[in-house]
A and B are shown apart, each in its own frame.
Chain A
């Protein structure tokens, strides 16, 4: 089956992104396809490479990047939600006159249309959040 996954909550504060990650990993292990993972609301904070969790805790951001690399996943951060919350790639930082970017490897920034298109192209859209 082909899935698009939507992640609506940030890392550590809320279990939604852990659950989304574990779901995606399990689905891939079972041979399913993940068409896209779309990060919305505070979920965009899953894509900052500046997090530094304690050593004895999971590294949620790195875990996404590694999964994306292993399975060539499309991790998309909503641009409107990202601008509100200060998540930027080099292009976004330049366009908005910011002095730095912070996007983690394997993520890209794009529009809400990518979420709708994921819903159209996939057999199931699975939402993780409150």
Chain B
């Protein structure tokens, strides 16, 4: 679409999926951004790890359950999903609780990853 330059984009997701609109609107940026054929990485930290929890049922809240979209990211060539090890542990969660395949990284590893990025968008 853009031709030429490819930058490393990191989307840093730090907030719970419901309660505020940040997670949903972050996902909208990722999906639109995919058309630009950049090198995309997603990181889930803090309460952001709840965005990937299996079996989300928020039907009583009248909000949209957008969690199935995370499973569709692969079709947009968004395949690098990293989750903070400490964030999972603090919440009593493991990879098994998540609805997509992720790689678990320590805070130090995520820091190094951020160093490599050209553009960091935090939500």
Contact = CB atoms under 8 A, between A and B. Distances in A.
A complexed with B: yes
Contacts of A130: 15, 22
B74 interface: no
B75 to A, nearest CB: 18
Interface stretch (B27-35, B90-98, B108-116): B27-35
A57 B15 CA distance: 32
Interface residues of B, number: 21
Contacts of A112: 28-29, 32-33
Interface stretch (A46-54, A66-74, A88-96, A113-121): A113-121
Contacts of A26: none
A40 B32 contact: no
A6 B28 CA distance: 15
Interface of B: 2, 5, 7, 9, 15, 21-22, 25, 28-29, 32-33, 35-36, 38, 118-123
